[in-house]
Amino acid sequence: MSDDAEPTISRFKRNHKWQRNGKMDYARSVRKWNITPSDQTTFHIKDGKLLRHHTPPAAGFVPSDHAPPITETGHLHTTHKPYLMEKIATTAVTSTSATIAVPAAASSGPVVGPGESEVPATGVQNDLEFVVPVTIGTPGVTAHLDFDTGSADLWVWGPQIQADRTKHTLYDPAASQTGKSSQGLWWRIQYGDGSVAAGEVHTDVINLGGVALPNQSVQVATALSDTFISEDGSDGLLGLAFPNMNTVQPMQQVTPMANLVAENLLVKPIFTVKLDKDDASGFYTFGDIAPDSHTGIKSADIKYQPVITTHGFWEFTSPTIRVGDKLVKREANNTAIADTGTTILMLSDAACQLVYSQIPGAVLSADAGGWILPSNSTPPHVGFGFGPDGLEYTISGEDLKYGDMQDGTHYGAIQSRGQAPYDILGDVFLRRVYAIFDQSPGAPKIGFAQRSLE
């Protein structure tokens, strides 16, 4: 693509309320993805509650260079949306938790079983690091939304929500000249821990990076759990996954991206993501790939793989993992999901153990709430297989140091996915690539180009 092309660009705004906190970010990810327990989950969903483990290492757990050969297991729960659960599917776990025995942390809730305690709303990081301004209605109000490739709802705070209105922009469809009620439609999102967002459905015009999209379905929240009320940084969410994940009942609604494609408002049916630590240089584009001068990579370096849309996610095959010089083949059907709505990475227990076994002093700690590593360590780079052709995309060893624990250790950027059947590659991974999400009807694909590891 030439440098004179001008795709529609939506720039990030940093959510200054967000603070990097490893165990709170992991707890949020567990809640979102309905992670059920495995040997290495320090947080998990069980019986509709978000729980924290406080139990000893499992028999045979070896946090050292002598880790056993990697094996992969996983089970998909009987729901079409693994993390949007009306009725929680639980899984019996026969092994004990692979964590160090310590007293329950002060932020933990009541004890609910041996070695477990419930995590209160204050123990979960609800905000994301970046939000994007989206204008809704006529006259327009500008809401700052989490752009989330792991969901397919556009929902915003409505006027019925009782909260500090100095911290949020509320969208009132009755105050918009172009707003219309979608009679008979409703929505309700329930996460694995029982937290809920629910409300009405309206249509209105939205403006996304300078592109006006009329008649877009907007889900207006009339009820939110305390976990959402406690958020300060965002006014809702804009889902960029596939429409078959949309939660509107009794008829699913079209996502903004699908609507842009259907209305022929884009040159190409794609959006792209460039995440950066500096909010001035991070952006989404809609309709085309950004000029090379914006991304720091050449468009010719982008490689694509087909997307598996069965679950509605941006999911692709990931058959290998490389830790330093050690390349390990994973199960042939291992897949990964690229999710801008998750900050960390979540892999199988075997893959987690493989990574941390290569870092002297790394341990799985119940006190810390996950895998930790020495701050003065030099972790190896970690590469993730992309499709069947031997392609890899890599994060640096320093990326593994996700959050400073202020005790000579860092919280690890890679944590257990529990019994989920796929890896979750969140923002830590996406910062190291330029990502292209191609929603071509009948042939969706995802593309990456490696960015600098410095």
Which amino acids are annotated catalytic? 148, 339
Q: Which amino acid is at 186?
A: W
Q: Which amino acid is at 406?
A: Q
CA angle (237, 242, 247) in 5-degree steps: 60
Q: Which of 386, 283, 326, 297 is nearest to 67 (CA)?
A: 326
Rounded Cα–Cα distance for residues 284 and 357 (Å): 36
Q: Please list, residue by residue across 258-289, b when 16 or more beta carbons sit within 10 angstroms of its beta carbon and e when fewer do.
A: bbbbeeebbeebbbbbbbeeebeebbbbbbbb
Give yes or no for a contact between 185 and 253, defined as CB atoms under 8 angstroms apart: yes
Please state the φ and ψ torsions of residue 301, each to the nearest 5 degrees.
Answer: -85, -10
Residue 104, CA distances (Å) to 40, 116, 270, 366 in order: 17, 8, 46, 9
Residue 55, CA distances (Å) to 101, 116, 366, 422 in order: 5, 8, 8, 25
Rounded Cα–Cα distance for residues 292 and 298 (Å): 6
DSSP H or E run through 132: strand 130-136
Rounded Cα–Cα distance for residues 228 and 215 (Å): 27
Q: Is 306 exposed, middle or buried (0-12, 13-18, 19+ CB in 10 A)?
A: middle
Give yes or no for a contact between 448 and 318, defined as CB atoms under 8 angstroms apart: no
Peptide bond into 269 cis (omega under 30): no
Cα dihedral 354/72/243/443 (nearest 10): 90
For the chain, the first-to-last Cα distance in angstroms comes to 25
The structure tokens listed for 329 are 């083949």
Give yes or no for a contact between 393 and 447, defined as CB atoms under 8 angstroms apart: no
